[in-house]
Structure 1
Amino acid sequence: MGFRHHQTPQNQQQEQNFFYSFSLIFLIIWQRKYEIHFLFSINLSFNGNINYILDMKYKYCYRCGALTKIIEIDGRRRSFCSNCNLVLYENPIPSVAILSMNDKKEILLVRRSVEPGKGEWSLPGGFIEMGETPVEAAIRELYEETGLQGKNPELVNVDTHLNGFYGDVLLIAYSVELDSYNITPGDDVSEGMFFKFNGRPRLVFKIHENFLVRWAKEKQLTAD
């Protein structure tokens, strides 16, 4: 009688992950004034988990337009222009998210009309414009997406979010008071509504969900 290894459910899952996991590599070229290469490394496992890494590299130097090469600098693979001796650093894109509620302690959410997350719910927000402060961006984005005027913004949280559409995003969340509650959907939004915390839809971005849960607990909205 041959030896038979006893398998626990955990061991079985590990073996399944070993045999059914595989990696896919995609190279995507984003055509703009200077080409940017996005390299996605995606690992799909048996249990449905998806892990991916976004590696963004510049093909051309944004100073002189010469072809770059990828070399290791400070422990990271970076785009380097040997023509002007310039390292083309990759930095997160700064953006804002807005946390607001009405006089019934209902949370303001918007349904996105553009990708990423078209048709899904999220916090109001968007990218910071050139020459604009994060606070100014929060007030502007709130008005553009909902038609609501905000006041007394307070910093709630700051974190990074790996977005397969834009790359690495630095997200700054503000709590903003509202002057009125009559929503007029605008830029990048098909509708906006106020929800009780426990009756809200799932948010499309995990980082928005994390910001909202933490803020709602501080405002004691989770028990409603």
Structure 2
Amino acid sequence: MRCVGAVIRDADGRLLLVRRGRPPGEGLWSLPGGRVEAGESDFEAVVREIREETGLDATPGELAGTVWRPPFEIHDYYATVVGGDLRAGDDAADVRWVSEAQLRLLPLTDGLLGFLDGLSGPPR
């Protein structure tokens, strides 16, 4: 099942995370994202998922990486916030900007920290 996620950092280098409100990963923190709907491009899905889960409008950029968690094939893209108001929505129980130190203290979805540590894209 094709999914997308977004790696979004603010001007202070904090990462945007959502706490999942439903399975899979209920209660865990993760990148905003979700399933690509029929007929939707990855970029369209990234924009929609960010808006639904965080209340923010964003522009997707280059592919940050792909993660395989059967049955999910997750394509994570760098993205930049261009508007909106931060609020948890859709299936997100909470949303927040987190620093590198805070990131390492949160209960994260399996493999997220390793994925983020392995990024070689835009500066963190």
TM over 0.5: yes
The aligned counterpart of 1:156 is 64
Q: Which amino acid aligns with 2:40?
A: E
The aligned counterpart of 2:23 is 115
Within 1, Cα distance between the matches of 2:57 and 2:113?
23
Answer with 1 or 2: which has the greater Rg. Answer: 1
- The alignment-based identity, stated in percent, is 30
Within 2, Cα distance between the matches of 1:152 and 1:203?
23
Match of 1:174 among 73, 77, 101: 77
Q: Is the 8 A contact 2:60 2:77 kept in 1?
A: no
| Counterpart secondary structure, 1:104 | coil
Within 2, Cα distance between the matches of 1:159 and 1:189?
21
Structure 1 gap segments, 5+ residues each? 1-92, 163-167
Within 1, Cα distance between the matches of 2:62 and 2:121?
13
Q: Is the 8 A contact 1:122 1:205 kept in 2?
A: no
Q: Is the 8 A contact 2:47 2:60 kept in 1?
A: no
The aligned counterpart of 2:3 is 95
Moved over 6 A (4+): none
1:204 partnered with 2:91: no
Could you say if the C-alpha distance between residues 159 and 145 of structure 1 is closer, same or farther in structure 2, counting changes exceeding 3 Å?
A: same
What is the Cα deviation at residue 180 of structure 1? 3.9
Within 2, Cα distance between the matches of 1:102 and 1:181?
14
Structure 2 gap segments, 5+ residues each? none
What is the Cα deviation at residue 210 of structure 1? 3.1
Instruction: String of CA shifts for 1:50-109, please: whole Å, max 9, x gaps.
Output: xxxxxxxxxxxxxxxxxxxxxxxxxxxxxxxxxxxxxxxxxxx00001100111110000
Instruction: String of CA shifts for 1:97-143, please: whole Å, max 9, x gaps.
Output: 11001111100000111012211111111000000001111111010
TM (normalized to structure 1)? 0.51
The number of equivalent residue pairs is: 122
Within 2, Cα distance between the matches of 1:211 and 1:120?
16
Alignment of 1:31-46 (within 5 A): none
